[in-house]
């Protein structure tokens, strides 16, 4: 019997070499592994981005044109508008679209928002040529293919859609918006208010200090000292409350009947039209005018 090994065939040799190569490649260095994993992650991200863009093309979208301005960044100091295409869904608000644009496309997009329930008043903006709350404005209700979003007019812009509200708050504070009764209740008694009086001042208490009315007022735009509809409405809220002291009411009327007070109002109703809480601001201003006249009438 012969013990000589038969020579391997050509096919067996190729398979053996391939197996050896595969074994060598299986043992990769840490650096090769990191590069491979990095490349795989990049490929996955690219696939996800392509899938998102394809999905976006298939979905119904809305275009929002947003005012941009940043005085602290070179190259962004010139005001401009940026366009964003946002997936649309039923019930979508302008605030929803802005949040999507910020979180998806540009994290530097700046605007104010908080409660998202039309209570805080922080997201008042100039939307399609009108002062509105972004969280309250349904995109489906806007009669336009493009939603144009700008900061409130007649206010100094801090950045993008954020305006300086300090002057507005100063005007609100100038009417001293707090009670000052002539006499305080004894012991634990409360200051009672009749249902009729409560009904009279009820609408004035709904003000959320959003500044939309002030922004829409042409008088306020020209007269920086004008109290403005929001501040005058706040004065109305206390002056017409029966719990307010008579002496304090007289003092409050003197504040609103000054040169830059109620008499500057030209009853254009622009403040009433844009108020997100439907407060009859112009009516309240006119009623304070009548109260001011009556307080100055003397019969002897």
User: What does the pLDDT read at residue 13?
Assistant: 59
Burial of 214 (0-12, 13-18, 19+ CB in 10 A): buried
pLDDT (mean) for 231-251: 92
Check whether 1 has a pLDDT greater than 50: no
What does DSSP assign to residue 138? B
Kind and range of the H or E element at 13? Answer: helix 10-26
Over the chain, what is the mean pLDDT?
87
Q: Which CATH number fits domain 58-163: 3.30.56.10, 3.10.20.30, 3.40.50.12780, 3.40.50.720?
A: 3.10.20.30
CATH 3.10.20.30 in the chain is located at 58-163
Structure tokens at 32: 């090769």
Residue 243: count of CB within 10 angstroms of its CB: 16
Instruction: Identify the burial level of 58 via C-beta atoms within 10 angstroms of its C-beta, where 0-12 means exposed, 13-18 middle and 19 or more buried.
Output: exposed
**Can you tell me the mean pLDDT for 117-141?**
96
Q: Between residues 185 and 131, which one has the greater pLDDT?
A: 131
Residue pair 132/274 in contact by the 8 Å Cβ criterion: yes
Nearest-angstrom CA–CA distance, 68 and 56: 24
Task: Quote the pLDDT of residue 144.
Answer: 85
| 80 strand-pairing partners | 68
Query: What is the DSSP track for 198-212?
Result: HHHHTGGGG-----H
Higher pLDDT pick, 123 / 244: 123
Cβ–Cβ under 8 Å, residues 121 and 36: no
Q: Which residue has the higher pLDDT, 163 or 295?
A: 163
Query: 116 is written with which tokens?
Result: 């998202």
The sign of the torsion formed by the CA atoms of 28, 32, 38, 41 equals negative
Per-residue pLDDT at 283 exceeds 70: yes
- Higher pLDDT among residues 285 and 27, named by residue: 285
Please tell me the predicted confidence (pLDDT) of residue 179.
79
- Sheet of 80-87: strand order equals 80-87, 61-68, 146-150, 124-127, 130-133
What mean pLDDT do residues 106-115 have? 95
Residue 36: pLDDT band (50, 70, 90) is confident
Strand partners, 133: 124
Question: Bridge-partner residues for 61, per DSSP?
Answer: 87
Mean pLDDT value across residues 154-181: 93
d(CA 53, CA 73): 30
Asked if residues 279 and 203 have their Cβ atoms less than 8 Å apart, the reply is yes
pLDDT above 90 for 104: yes
* Higher pLDDT pick, 23 / 173: 173
Region 39-59 average pLDDT: 72
CA distance 124 to 143: 19
Q: What pLDDT shows up at residue 37?
A: 85
Which residue spans of the chain are classified as CATH 1.10.1060.10? Answer: 166-182+195-296
- Could you tell me which residue, 57 or 141, shows the higher pLDDT? 141
Question: How many CA atoms does the CB half-sphere of 48 hold within 13 Å?
Answer: 6
| pLDDT higher than threshold 70 for residue 16 | no
Percent of the chain at pLDDT > 90 equals: 65
| pLDDT over 90 at 111, yes or no | yes
166-182+195-296 in CATH: which number?
A: 1.10.1060.10
Instruction: Give the pLDDT band of residue 137 (cuts 50, 70, 90).
Output: very high
What's the pLDDT at 80? Answer: 95
Q: 264: pLDDT confidence band, cut at 50, 70 and 90? A: very high
pLDDT of residue 196 exceeding 90: yes
Higher-scoring residue by pLDDT: 37, 231: 231
Q: Is the dihedral of CA 278, 281, 286, 289 positive or negative?
A: positive
């Amino acid at each position: 019997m012969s013990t000589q090994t038969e020579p391997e065939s050509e096919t067996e040799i190729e398979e053996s070499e391939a197996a050896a190569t595969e074994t060598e490649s299986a043992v990769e260095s840490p650096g090769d592994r990191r590069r491979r994993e990095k490349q795989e992650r990049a490929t996955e991200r690219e696939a996800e981005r392509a899938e998102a863009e394809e999905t976006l093309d298939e979905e119904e979208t809305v275009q929002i044109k947003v005012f941009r301005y940043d005085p602290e960044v070179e190259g962004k100091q010139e005001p401009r508008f940026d366009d964003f295409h946002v997936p649309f869904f039923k019930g979508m608000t302008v605030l929803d679209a802005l949040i999507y644009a910020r979180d998806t496309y540009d994290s530097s997009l700046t605007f104010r928002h908080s409660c998202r329930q039309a209570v805080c008043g922080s997201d008042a903006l100039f939307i399609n040529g009108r002062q509105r709350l972004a969280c309250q404005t349904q995109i489906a209700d806007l009669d336009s293919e493009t939603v144009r979003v700008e900061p409130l007019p007649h206010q100094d812009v801090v950045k993008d859609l954020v305006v300086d509200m300090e002057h507005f708050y100063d005007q609100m504070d100038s009417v001293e918006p707090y009670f000052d009764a002539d006499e305080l209740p004894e012991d634990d008694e409360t200051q009672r208010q009749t249902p009729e009086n409560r009904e009279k001042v009820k609408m004035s208490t709904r003000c959320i200090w959003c500044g939309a009315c002030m922004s829409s007022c042409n008088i306020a735009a020209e007269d920086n000292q004008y109290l403005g509809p929001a501040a005058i409405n706040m004065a109305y809220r206390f002056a017409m409350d029966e719990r307010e002291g008579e002496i304090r009411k007289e003092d409050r009327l003197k504040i609103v009947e000054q040169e830059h007070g109620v008499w500057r109002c030209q009853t254009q109703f622009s403040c009433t039209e844009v108020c997100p809480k439907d407060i009859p601001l112009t009516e309240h201003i006119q009623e304070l005018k009548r109260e001011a006249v009556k307080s100055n009438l003397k019969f002897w």
